Amino acid sequence: MTVETIIEDERWSDLDRLAGIAIPAALRGAGLDGAFEVAVLGCDDARIAALNAEFRGKAAPTNVLSWPSEARVPGTAPRDPELGDIAIAIETCRREAAAQGKPFEAHVIHLLVHATLHLLGHDHANPEEAEAMEAAETRILRELDLPDPYADGILKSAGL
């Protein structure tokens, strides 16, 4: 497992460590083991807003974005060891963690698990998919001794 972090915003001083916890845990939680590769960009709100506008047509910052290298069906093994790319924004993550009364590190790990599951084909476009994805995230975070991020409904109402 290779996680390459690209730090564009120096406030992401601990992103290597957090990504090194979250991404392997998400892969293990999905039943995957092997020489997979993920790139993580630690950026600010301005950069992620530009990426969000370019790739999703939404000219606003968001917490995390992901780009799978290939279309995948959840539960199937990836054909390509390069799973894809993730971008995560420091200001939005800090704001959300503070608003939700959650430790910043736990929130970032959750978002990286969430994004990794997207790389593996999971989605939350409809209620059934959202429920399955939330259950996977909760299970993976529990294995890391982190609380259920959906327990209070804050993230659900935020559209995550």
> Is 122 within any annotated ligand binding site?
no
DSSP for the chain reads -EEEEEESSTT-TTHHHHHHHHHHHHHHHTT--S--EEEEEEE-HHHHHHHHHHHHS--S--SEEEEESS---TTS--SSSEEEEEEEEHHHHHHHHHHHT--HHHHHHHHHHHHHHHHTT---SSHHHHHHHHHHHHHHHHHTT---TTTTSHHHHTT-
> Is 110 within any annotated ligand binding site?
no
> Is 118 within any annotated ligand binding site?
yes
Annotated binding site for Zn(2+): 114, 118, 124
Annotated binding site: 114, 118, 124
